[in-house]
Chain A
Amino acid sequence: MFNLRDKGAEIWENQGRIGRIVIAVGAIAIVAALPFMGGTFLNTPVADYESVLVYPIAMFVLMAIGLNIVIGKSGLLDLGYVAFFAIGAYTMGLLGTKTDLNTWEILPIGIAMAMFSGIILGVPALKLRGDYLAIITLGFGEIVRIVALNLGALGRSEGIQGIPTPPGIFGIEYAFDSHRIYYWTLLILILLAIWMVRRLSARRAGRAWESIRQDEDAAELLGVPTFKYKVWAFVLGASVGGAAGVLYASKTLFIAPDNFTLQISILILACVVFGGMGNIWGVILGAVILGYLPDRIRFLSEARLLVFGLVLVIMMNLRPDGILPRKKREKAIVKKDAS
C-alpha cells in the first residue's frame, strides 16, 4: 500500500537546510491562509466556516498533540483528557472575571494549574496498569465536570459568563467575532507544541517514552526511571490541554460544564488513533478531519453523528494504525515482541 508517511519523511530528509525552510514556511503560509478560503469547497454549509476553523478544528489539533504525548508516545491510555481542558478554561473564567489579570497573564497560570492537576492525578494513577489507568482518568474527567456543575463558586450549570477577550498585542485587536485572529493565535500555540514534542522526542525523554510504550518492564529493568517519565508525559500532555482551555474560554467568553463532557475526551482520543498514534502529523491530520467532518456533513442533519460513528468503525477496520501511522520499523519490533 502507498505509504504517505514514509514518502513524506523521505522528501523531507532529502532536502538541504534551505529546502526544509522553504517547505516549512510554505506549509505554514498555506495553513495560515485557510481562513481566506471560506468561499471555496472547504466551506461548511451551515456553521460559520471561520469559527469552525477555530473550534473545533484548531482546538482539537492542539489537544490531540497534547494527548498524543500521553497515548501515542508513552502508550498510557487517558480517557479523561477533557479534565485538563476544563481546568484551563475554568482558571481563565475565574481569574478573568474576578481579577484584573488578562488572558496572556492567565495563560501560564492555567497551564500551571493543569500541570499541577496532572501531577495530582498522575502520581497515584500511573502506578496502575493500563486498563485501570483508563478508568481512573475517565473518572477524573467526570469528577472535574461534576465539581464544576455543583460548586457555587464555579457557577453550577450556568457556568461562568462575561469572560474578557484577550487584550490586543502589537496593535492586533481581539474582537469576539474576529475568528481569524484567534485561529492564528492557536496556530502559534500549535507550532510551539509541535516544536516542544519534536525536541523532546529526539532526546532522553522521547527514548524513555518509546521504551515504556514498547515494554515497560524491560525499560524499568534497563534502568529507565519509568514512573518519573510517565508522570512527565502526563504533565506535559496536561499543560497543552490547559493552554487550549484558557484560549477556549477567552474565545467563547462563556463556559459551562456541558462544554467539558466525556465525549470531548473520546473525540480527542479518536483524533489521535484515527490519524495515526505516535506520529504527530498523523495526529494533526486526524484532528483536522474529525473536527471538520461533523460540520461538513451537517446537511445530513439528524444522521450526522450516526454517519460519523460509521466512519470511525469503517476507518479503523481498514487502517487500524490510523491514516498516517508511525514508522514501520518501530511497528515491526512491537509485532515481534507480541508474538
Chain B
Amino acid sequence: MIGNFLDQFWSLTFGGLSLGFIYILIALGYTMVYGVLRMINFANSEIFMVGTFATIIIIRDLFKFTQVSEYATGFRLWLILGTALIFAMLVSGILSMLVEMVAYRRLRRMNSGVLAPLISAIGVSMVLSESVRILTDSRPVASPRAMEKKFLGQFFDAGIRIDNTIIVISALVLFAILITFVNKTRMGKAIRAVSMNPNAARLMGINIDGVISATFLVGGLMTGAAGFFYTLKYENTSAFIGFELGIAAFTAAILGGIGNIKGAFYGGLALGLLETYASFFLGTQWKAVTVFIVLVLVLYTKPNGLFGEALTQTRA
C-alpha cells in the first residue's frame, strides 16, 4: 500500500493540486460574500453548476464540437478555451449578482437575521438546479473534448497532463488578479471597508448595495471559472453536481478561515490534496468522511480555521 502510494505519489499530487485549485475558486465565492455579509451563500454551489453548463454550451453549441470531432490546435484551441472561460465566468458572475438582488437584498434591508436569507438561498438553489434538471432531462451531460489531453513532460514517474497544468496556471493568475483587485483598486478598498465595518463604511459615503453587488459579481466570476476548469478536467456535468462540490469548497473555505481570501487558497489546496490521498488509501466512498473529520479536528484545535479570520489587509 505504502509502496504503491510512493509510486503514484506525484500523479496523485498533480491531480489533487488541480482539484484543489478548483476548490479554491469556488471557496472564493463563499468566502468573499461571507466576508462582506457574514452570510453563507448557499446558492454558490448552483452558480458553479451553471458555470459548467455555460462551458459546455460554448464548446458543444458554439464551436460545434462532438464526441468524434478532431481536436482543435494552435490559435483555434486557445480561442475556444478563452471564450468558454470568459463566457462561464460572465454567466456565473451575472447570475450570482441577480441572485443577490432577488433573494437577499430585500431581506438585508429588513435586517432579518441569519436564517431567513439562508432559506431564501435554499429556495434559489432549488430553482436553479431544478430548472437545469428539467432542461437536461435529469441526465448527466458529457462535454466534448476540444483539446487533446497530452502529457507535457515527466516529473519523476508522473506525467504532467496539459489540462491540470492549464488549471493550475490559470487559477493562479485569476487568484493574483483577485488579490490585486481587492488590495489595489477603489472597489477593492470599498469591499474591505464594508467587510470591516458596514456602518462606518456607509457613513464614509460608500454605496453599500453597489459594493455587495460587486462582491457577488466577483465571487460569481471565480466560481464560474471553477465551473470551466471542472468541465475541462472531468468532461462531465449534471444538474446535481453543485451540491457535492459546493460542500467541499465550503469546507475548504472554513478550513482556511472563512472570510479570509488567503485562507481560501490554502484551505482549497489542503482539501484537494487531502481528498485525493484519502481516496487512495480508504477508497473514494470515505473521502467525504475523512474531510469532515479533519475539519472537526482543525476547528476543535483552531476554532477560526487554519489561518484565522484575520482582520487584516487581505480580508475581503
Contacts and interface: CB of A to CB of B under 8 A. Distances in A.
Contact of B40 (A134, A266, A308): A134
Interface string A293-328: 000000000110110111111001100110000000
A16 to B, nearest CB: 37
B110 A320 contact: yes
Contact of B102 (A124, A147, A313): A313
Contacts of A269: 118-119, 122
Interface stretch (B79-87, B268-276, B282-290): B282-290
Contacts of A338: 111
A113 to B, nearest CB: 19
Given A308-B126, A312-B119, A313-B127, A135 B250 contact: yes
Contacts of B116: 273, 316, 320-321
A127 B243 CA distance: 27
A146 B286 contact: yes
A312 B134 contact: no
Interface stretch (A25-33, A136-144, A190-198, A203-211): A136-144
Contact of A306 (B107, B110, B113, B130): B130
A334 B111 CA distance: 11
B263 to A, nearest CB: 13
Interface of B is mostly: helix
Given A127-B303, A302-B134, A313 B289 contact: no
Contacts of B247: 138, 142
B55 interface: no
B115 A146 contact: no
A308 B249 CA distance: 26
A140 B247 CA distance: 13
A320 B40 CA distance: 17
A77 B115 contact: yes
B119 A128 contact: no
Nearest to B122: A266
A129 interface: yes
B134 A303 contact: yes
A277 interface: yes
Nearest to A261: B243
Contacts of A143: 288-289, 292-293
A146 B283 CA distance: 12
Contact of B300 (A124, A140, A306): A124
Interface residues of A, number: 47
Nearest to A134: B40
Contacts of B110: 320
B218 interface: no
B303 A129 contact: yes
Contact of B123 (A124, A313, A339): A313
A150 interface: yes
B255 to A, nearest CB: 10
Contact of A142 (B113, B258, B292): B292
Interface in B77-126: 102-103, 106-107, 110-120, 122-126
B286 A306 contact: no
Contacts, number: 118
B231 interface: no
Interface of A is mostly: helix
Given A150-B286, A274-B119, A306 B127 contact: yes
A235 interface: no
A305 B300 CA distance: 37
B27 to A, nearest CB: 12
Contacts of A70: none
Interface in A102-147: 124-125, 127-132, 134-136, 138-140, 142-143, 146-147
Contacts of B119: 269-270, 273-274, 312, 316
A17 interface: no
Contact of A131 (B102, B258, B300): B258
Residue of A274, A303, A312 with highest tally of chain B CB at under 10 A = A312
Contacts of A285: none
A335 interface: yes
Contacts of A127: 300, 303
Interface string B29-62: 0000010001010000000000000000000000
A146 B112 CA distance: 35
B254 A309 contact: no
B288 A146 contact: yes
A310 B299 CA distance: 35
Contact of A316 (B123, B288, B296): B123
Nearest to A322: B116
B114 A128 contact: no
Nearest to A335: B111
A310 B254 contact: no
Given A135-B295, A136-B292, A139-B295, 8 more contacts: A131-B38, A135-B254, A142-B292, A150-B286, A274-B119, A309-B122, A309-B125, A316-B107
8 contacts: A71-B115, A127-B303, A135-B250, A135-B295, A146-B286, A146-B288, A306-B126, A310-B123
